[in-house]
Amino acid sequence: MDAYRRHVLVCTGSFCSPNRQGRLLYSQLAALLQREDLLFGPDRVKRSEAPCLGVCGGGPIIAVYPEGIWYGGVTPELLERIVVEHLRDGRIIDEAVFHRLGG
Ligand code: FES
């Protein structure tokens, strides 16, 4: 089994995004990871949903590890940028970051 390069947590709870937009993002993430060839190989990404990440505002929230980057207010368009620019190309989208672990 290939090791995972990154782990993405998507909050699918109802407090940070009352319309539960996170659920839609979580399913879109699967298709985007497949499209960008990130399900296997050296840049393999693990995708998980979380019922709550403890922020409960400004969502939907997506956290990317090992960088410890948390993106807020994630739209489908921003999700696509996260997959392409961050997960595929390794460039953090600074203007969309609302929290950095340890920062
Ligand atoms: S419900 Fe999303 S952070 Fe709590």
* pLDDT for residue 103 is more than 80: no
What separation in Å is there between the alpha carbon of 3 and the centre of ligand 1?
28
pLDDT one-digit tens code per residue, 52-95: 999 999 999 999 999 999 999 999 999 999 999 999 999 999 99
Residue 45 pairs in a beta bridge with: 6
Instruction: Check residue 60 and give its pLDDT.
Output: 96
- Alpha-carbon separation of residue 103 from 10, 30, 35, 52 (angstroms): 20, 29, 32, 21
Cis status of the peptide bond prior to 60, with omega within 30 of 0: yes
Nearest residue to 46 (alpha-carbon basis) of 31, 59, 20, 64: 64
**Token digits of residue 33:** 């990871």
pTM, two decimal places: 0.95
* pLDDT for residue 7 is more than 70: yes
Mean pLDDT of 24-35: 97
State which of 16, 25, 71 you would mutate to test the pocket of ligand 1, scoring each by most atoms of that ligand within 8 A of its C-beta: 16
What separation in Å is there between the alpha carbon of 67 and the centre of ligand 1?
20
Indicate whether 71 belongs to any domain.
yes
Indicate whether 1 belongs to any domain.
no
Indicate whether 73 belongs to any domain.
yes
Indicate whether 39 belongs to any domain.
yes
Q: Is 29 exposed, middle or buried (0-12, 13-18, 19+ CB in 10 A)?
A: buried
CATH number at residue 30: 3.40.30.10
**Token digits of residue 89:** 């190309």
Nearest residue to 49 (alpha-carbon basis) of 70, 34, 63, 68: 63
Indicate whether 30 belongs to any domain.
yes
Domain extent at residue 67: 6-100
State which of 21, 25, 26, 55 you would mutate to test the pocket of ligand 1, scoring each by most atoms of that ligand within 8 A of its C-beta: 55
The domain tally of the chain equals: 1
